[in-house]
Structures are given as structure tokens and as C-alpha cells.
Amino acid sequence: MFIAPVAEAIIGATFFSRHISMTDIEKPTNFIQQIITADLEANRVSQVVTRFPPEPNGYLHIGHAKSICLNFGLAEQFGGHCNLRFDDTNPEKEEDEFVQAIIEDVRWLGFNWAGEPRFASDYYDQLYSWAIYLIEQGKAYICELNAEQMRDYRGTLTEAGKNSPYRERPAAESLELLEKMKIGAADEGSMTLRAKIDMASPNINMRDPVMYRIKKMPHHRTGDKWNIYPSYDFAHGQEDAIEGVSHSVCTLEFAANRPLYEWFAANLPLPSVPRQYEFGRLNLNYTMTSKRKLKQLVDEKHVDGWDDPRMPTLSGLRRRGVTAASVREFCNSLAVAKTDGVVDVAQFEHFIREDLNNNAMRAMCVLNPLKVTLSNYPVDQEELLSAAGHPNRGDLASRQLPFSRELYIDRDDFSLDSTLSRKKFKRLVLGDYVRLRGGYVISADDVVTDSSGEVVELICSYVPGTVGEDPPEGIRPRGVIHWVDANNCVDCDLYLYERLFNVPAPGAGEGSFVEQINPESLKIIRNAKAELGLGSAVVGEHYQFEREGYYCVDSKYSSSEKLVFNRTISLR
């Protein structure tokens, strides 16, 4: 589904704020840590303040996790704090559902933010006042070019733009029109507020960018109060200044926006002057992280919602059974650099397996049941066998395994071909022995078939006294197989997940990315047989189904009537 360590370890799991001396801080290992260390040593900043500023227009995905860990981790390392702030400047695409999902995801990762969550909409009045200030200073104007005309006037990467015919509009007239926009007396698309910078700038972002546009739609927090909304570029840096952010850390696609970020800081009476720094974003092969395309997958029902376990969203990973610790450790391993790159999804899988191998309880589940009757075991006898909860974790409770005359083993663990070598088939064949995991040694004596010749039952014998003991001389089991007691087990459905896409770079090249969806990304197994103790399994617990993979209880479809387990990841 989804990394081998690259050197880097800066992130912790929780927020704290305290005075901390430079001697307390570990040696910087990436360029942002080096910048912060130098700023503190030179007294350019007295406290490190970072922020994680998602737009609530979708669910967070694995790419966001790197930014979350970096921003919260830097604040923790340097004794500062990190704000959670929603850049909710586009009511067209934003919903409270996304706000709540983002809050849950950040908490799940183990991070706490300073104070309450913040919102761009908290600062709308102040931003509007600063817009008026720039108009009064002759540094902003109301433009009545429509969208197509604005594109024509903007120029290209090789040709300078042209000044808008409204660029020299008197400040008083622009102020009057801005108020008209605000109260809803102007039509959408009829005018915008633009900063007056330089239409000949080689950086297109500096060619009189839009600060406010008319959008006559309610906002999920402010309702119908506003008919105009600030652009991200105008709002973002000013939000940082209001919150006293010392180091505004974002991904490389915002590098071209930094001159504009700094222009607003230089031309407004801000309470503080933040600085922006960019780092390479996390890109994974076989993974789609475009929120627009993820939304398309949801809207067109190619997946089972934003939290589908095949999705790269944090809620999808959580539902699949990926642990927060493995996501943090993966992000900690990534280089914080000034270049983008693509990381092999197998490296993420490395951390998932490592964490689950160390912490997941062991259990047995038979995916494709084949009945076994032990002809020499007493008909009315039952016993409880004890098995370790984890082979290397004495702190985890042992399991009690019911054992009786009738069992289930996996159909793939038996073959009619008794000529198969022990090296090639370490399972059960007629006339030979295997050991049941944590139980007795058994031998296959005969088979029962149906009218089509398919084997429907094995008649076997058990070897007494072999639980935890070597069998008598002359009996050498071919291998060890898993099993459950037929009369004391739990029926469950298993959802086996694979990668959602079957190409390394979904969306690249010709054709729609939807055509690159892996048709084998989900296989459902009905009525698997699990050991009795799994009947009390709950959401949030992780299990290694021995010899099968790592599983968790599905939070959406599992119920008291029918347990549903999701396969998080296969064994190596």
C-alpha cells in the first residue's frame, strides 16, 4: 500500500511550552533547525511559534502528516508552541465536516496545539481594515476587469503584463466600491480589490494580485456577514503576523509566493513580521494526494468515502489500522530539504510493519475453513490451551484457546498430493504430521469429499502429550499451521486491501487517473473463522492474524452482530 529510513529525527508527539536554553537543544540536523537555532542565538526571535494551516476543503492525507510533524516538532524541540489554524477563505469548497475531521486527525497523530483552533475568519475584520489602509496608501485599487480580461492583461512568463485601466483610480472611489462589494451591491465577477505592485515583475504573483473577490455565499462560520472574501495570499501572511508566528514553514510550491508574503509585511502596520521558509513536500509513489482528485474519487463513489482504507487520508489510514506512531516515525525519517522527491511507498510499509510487529496482539483466524475431525479425541472432551499474546511481550496477557474434537484449518494448508517434498510444502498431507500452532501434533488419515470430488472434511488423529512438548521419536511434523476450534470460534468478514492504484505515478501521462485504479484493491472474505477471544475485539486494537497479516476491527461496518476486520498490511 504504501518507507526505509532516511536520516532525520526531530519530532515529538506532544506540544509543550517552557523556557529553554540553547544548550538544551539537540544539534540541528536540517536547514530549518539551523535557521531557528541562529535566530535564537542572535536574539532575532525570543520564542519559536509555528503553525499548521490547512484549508478545510477536504480531509488530510499522508502528505500533510510531514508538515504536521515538522511544524509541531520544531515548536516542541525549541520550547515554543504551534497553532492549528484553518485558512477558511473560500466558502465555496469549505465545510465544518472537514474542520472536525482535521482536528481529529491532528489529535490522532498525538499533537496538541496552543489554545483553541484558530481560523482565518477570526481575522476578517482586521484584514478588511488593512485592505482599506492599502487603498488609502495608494497601494491597492478596485479593478473592474473580468476574469478573461485580467488573464490577458497579466502577461506570460516571458512577456510583461499591462496595467489595468482602473489602476490609477482615486482612493476615495476605490473605498466606495470596496464597501459596495462588501454589502453585496456589486455582482460576482464584476470587480476585485488588487494590490498595486508591478505588472512588469518577472514573478507573476507580483503582478497586482487579487486581495478580495466577491462571493455571495454563506460561510460555514460567519454565515451571511460577508459578500467578499480575502485571497489566500493576502490573508495567510497577515494571519501569521497577528499570531506572532516566528517561522512560517510551508512546502516548495509556495516559494514563488514568498515575495508577495514579504511585500504585504513591508507595506502594512503589522504587529509582528513573520518569515516564510519552504521545504520539499512528501510525495509517495502509487499514491494520489491531490485533494481535488481525492474528492473526485469520493464523489464518483470509486471509494467508500474519505475514510476508505485504500485512501491516503489520515482517516483512511486510521480506519485501515495504520498506527499514529508508525506515521510519526515515517515522517521523522524523511529528510527536510529544499527539493521535492518521490518516496517509495515500501518505505512507509516498513514503519507500519515494524510498529505492528512490536505491538499487535497475536491471534488466529482461518480465512478459507476446512473442517478437521480428530477421530481419536474424546467426543465430549474440551480443553483450554494457553498461547502467548505476543512472542516477545511478556506484559501482554496470554490467550486461552478452546480445543475439542472438531477444528478448522485453512484449506490451503492441506494437499492431497502426498508426494510433495517437505521443503516445498511444510503443511499437511495424507499420512504425515503437522503441529497446530500452540497445540497438538496431528496427522491426516483420510478425507471426506462431496459429489464433485472436493474435499470437505479431513479425518485426522492427534498425538497426545505434544502440547508444548516434542513428539515421540519417529514423528517429525512437516511444519506449523494455524487453526481454530470449530465449536468455539467467531464468524467474521475480512476486507483485504491492496494499493488503490496499479501504476507508480497515478494521473501522469495519458488517460484519466480513474482508469488506473487497481481492480484488485479490495477483496472481501465472508465468514472466516476466528479464535473465540476475538469476539471481544474493539475498534482501535491491532492484531497479527498469525501467518496471514495485520488486522484491525473496522470502525464503519463492524457490529455486535458481525465482526468485520480490515487487513492493514500483509506479512513480509
- Annotation says 515 is catalytic: no
List the one residue out of 419, 435, 426, 523 whose CA is nearest residue 483.
435
Q: Is-contact 379 395, C-beta < 8 A? A: no
List the one residue out of 233, 232, 229 whose CA is nearest residue 261.
233
Phi, psi of 481 (to 5 degrees): -125, 160
Specify the pairing of strand 365-366 against strand 522-531: antiparallel
Query: How far is Cα 377 from Cα 460, in angstroms, rounded to an integer?
Result: 10
Query: For the chain, what's the residue count?
Result: 572
DSSP helix/strand/coil, 353: helix
β-bridge partners, 566: 495, 552
- Provide the strand spans (E) within 252-325: 275-279, 282-284
DSSP secondary structure code for residue 322 in this structure: -
- Annotation says 399 is catalytic: no
Catalytic residue chosen out of the listed positions 215, 281, 411, 426:
281
Q: Is-contact 195 140, C-beta < 8 A? A: yes
Helix 171-182 with 124-136: angle, nearest 10 deg: 160
Q: Residues 114, 32, 104, 299: what is their CA dihedral angle, to the nearest 10 degrees?
A: 140
Cell of 273: 513580521
* Residues in Cβ contact with 336 at an 8 Å cutoff, skipping those fewer than 6 apart: 8, 10, 30, 31, 32, 33, 70, 279, 280
DSSP helix/strand/coil, 150: helix
Catalytic residue chosen out of the listed positions 118, 213, 291, 499:
291
Query: How far is Cα 565 from Cα 534, in angstroms, rounded to an integer?
Result: 10
Neighbours of 261 (CB within 10 A): 22
Specify the pairing of strand 522-531 against strand 489-497: antiparallel
Cell of 413: 494448508
> For every residue of 72-97, which 3-state class applies, written as one string?
HHHHHHCCCEEEEEECCCCCCCCCHH
- What single-letter amino acid sits at 292? R
Q: Is-contact 536 558, C-beta < 8 A? A: no
Catalytic residue chosen out of the listed positions 55, 188, 262, 498:
55
DSSP helix/strand/coil, 358: helix
**Rg, C-alpha atoms of the chain:** 31
Query: How far is Cα 399 from Cα 385, in angstroms, rounded to an integer?
Result: 8
Cell of 11: 519530532
- Annotation says 136 is catalytic: no
DSSP secondary structure code for residue 387 in this structure: E
- What single-letter amino acid sits at 441? V
* Residues in Cβ contact with 320 at an 8 Å cutoff, skipping those fewer than 6 apart: 1, 309, 310, 497, 552, 566, 568
Phi, psi of 33 (to 5 degrees): -60, -40
Catalytically annotated residues: 55, 281, 291
